[in-house]
Each structure stands twice: as structure tokens, then as C-alpha cells.
A = this chain, B = another copy of it.
Amino acid sequence: MIETALADPTVAEFTQLLQTDAYEMIQEDTLLSSSLWANVALAGLSILTFVYLGRDLKNTRAKLIWVAVLLVPLVSVSSYSSLLSGLTVDMIMLPDGHPLAGEPQFSSWGRYLTWTLSTPAILVGLGLLAGTDFTKLFAAVTMDIAMCVTGLAAALITQSYLLRWVFFGISCAFFLVVVYILLAEWPADAAAAGTGEIFGTLKLLTVVLWFGYPIVWAVGIEGLALIESAGVISWAYSALDILAKYVFAFLLLNWVRNNQDVVGAGPSLLGSGSDSAAAAAD
């Protein structure tokens, strides 16, 4: 009967098949599913905490940072629920040349998709804290999105082992631009805005943790496959997310909350991108 169904599958039957295998793997692998559920729980907790912490903010820029910071766990809770539902995971066949070529491997490609939304929010929060101008923030965010989109491409390519690494390389190049902006451009802006100390802490936290993601990719199933356990890889990403997203966002929001006067006194993001500040000064 199964044979009959598959010899003449309707579209609906096939569409369902696409989600089934990876979904069942999550159900059966406790390590894997716990790495996802842990983030759903912590992202939920972060949302409640951040809403509470932001209830009294009066300053315009502080409120904008709050919205950016709140977006991080909001995107995360949607992202991890999508992974758990089987919508954004799949079993993929890695190309010839890859150590694990020949048998289906678990891919949580939805992670790369949702990072295109959550990581820009982190950079917007950091950029507003540093009091940077629109040009630098625009550059950081576009390079960051390019990094995530090319990372998604690297994860989805199943035809050529070489091209997986080419995209990995392109993604890393974009990442290095972001790192350059974080390390070489924004610290001076932050010092001028009087937020140098907290920016220094958060910058370091972000750069160090973000380097973890390509390393996990390179040593994990999708890269060299030095680590072959889908659960261990997933926990590595999840742990990075917990630190680089919720802990980061909490530290940022908590500081902003206690230093609204400093945040409000910084230069204007929008004004710096225009001539209005100069016009006003005349």
C-alpha cells in the first residue's frame, strides 16, 4: 500500500513528506529537541523581562534601543518554534567530497534565515548605543544581512562541496566587515557619546561569541564533520544564541534603563546622516 501511494503521490502527500523525516528526528533525539526547547523557554522569559524593564523608558533613543532589543527574543521564539515544528529543518544529502556524503543529514537551515532578522536588531541596538551615524549603521546592517543570506546559501547547497565552502568564505568576508565596524569604527563614536565603557563590554561579548558560529559550522556536520552529532551541534548554536542574544540584550537594556540621561545626550542618528544638525547650528 505504501508502494502504491508513492508510485502515484499527490502533491499534498509529497509536501507532507518534505517535513516528516527531520521532524521525527527531532522528536526522537532528546539532546536535539532539548537544545530547541531551551531556547523557546529562555526567549519567552526574555520577552517578559524586557517588556517589564522597558515599561518606564521616557527618552526617545532609549525607547528605540528597547524596541530593537525586544525584537531579538521575539524573533528567536518564532525561529525555535519553527525548527521544532519541522517547518525550517530538513534532511539533506551532502555533496560528493563531503565526509558525510551518501546519507541524509539533519539541517536546521531555518537558523540562518532567522539570523537575518535577529542579528540586524542586535547591531541596531549596539549602533544606537554608540551614537553612530546612519551611514555606518546602514553599512553594518547590510553586511550583516549579506553574511546571513550567504550563510543560508552555504547550508542549502547540495551539488558541490567546493561551492559550500566558497559561500562559507563569502559569508565570513561579510562578517569581517561587521567586525571591523564594531572594533574600529564604533568605539570612537561611543567614546564621544559617553557610552564607551558599556559599549566596550558589549562589543567584546558580541565579537567573541559571533566568531563561535562559523567555527561551529566549520567543525560540524555542514563543514568538516569533525563533530557528527546533530544534537551536539544544535546545542552549540543554542548556547551561543543564549549568550549572544538574551544575555547580551539583557545587559544592554539594563544599562540603558539606568543611564537614560547619557543615552539621550548622544548625537542624533538621523541628524548626523543629514545636514539638519549643521543647518540648526547656523
Q: Are A139 and B67 in contact (CB under 8 A)?
A: yes
A81 interface contact, C-beta 8 A? yes
Copies of this chain present in the complex amount to: 3
Q: Which of A256-278 contact B (CB under 8 A)?
A: 267-277
B residues less than 8 Å from A268 (CB atoms)? 274-276, 279
CB contact between A16 and one of B60, B74, B150, B158 (< 8 Å): that residue: B158
A66 → chain B closest CB, angstroms: 9
The answer on a CB contact under 8 Å between A20 and B15 is no
- At the interface with chain B, which of A82-90, A224-232, A234-242? A82-90
Residues 10-52 of chain A, each 1 if its beta carbon lies under 8 Å from chain B, else 0:
1111111111111100000000000000000000000000000
The reply to whether the CB of A170 lies closer than 8 angstroms to some CB of chain B is yes
Interface status of A191 (Cβ within 8 A of chain B): no
Cβ–Cβ < 8 Å partners of A150 in chain B: 78
**Residue A202, interface by CB 8 Å:** no
Contact A163 B11 (CB under 8 A): no
User: A71 vs B112: C-alpha distance in the bound complex, in angstroms?
Assistant: 20
Chain B residues, CB < 8 A from A134: 64, 270
A6 touches which of B9, B12, B77, B82 (Cβ 8 Å): B9
Instruction: Please determine whether A15 and B92 come into contact, CB atoms closer than 8 angstroms.
Output: yes
Report the Cα distance A138→B49, complex, angstroms: 21
Verify A10–B104 contact, CB threshold 8 A.
yes
Q: Write the A140-175 contact mask toward B (1 if CB under 8 angstroms, else 0).
A: 001000100110010011111001001100100010
A159 CA to B81 CA in the complex, in Å?
12
A78 to chain B, nearest CB (A): 5
A67 touches B135 (CB 8 A): yes
Complex alpha-carbon distance, A146 and B117, angstroms: 10
* A1, CB-defined interface residue at 8 Å: no
Docked CA distance A277–B99 (Å): 60
* Contact of A215 with B by CB under 8 A: no
Kindly provide the distance from the CB of A246 to the nearest chain B CB, expressed in whole angstroms.
Answer: 17
Per the bound structure, the CA–CA distance linking A3 and B6 in Å amounts to 11
User: What are 5 A-to-B residue pairs whose CB atoms are below 8 Å?
Assistant: A3-B7, A11-B22, A23-B160, A67-B139, A74-B174
Given A10-B21, A270-B271, 14 more pairs with CB closer than 8 A: A2-B8, A6-B7, A12-B91, A14-B17, A15-B92, A16-B93, A67-B142, A78-B167, A81-B166, A267-B275, A268-B275, A269-B273, A269-B274, A276-B279
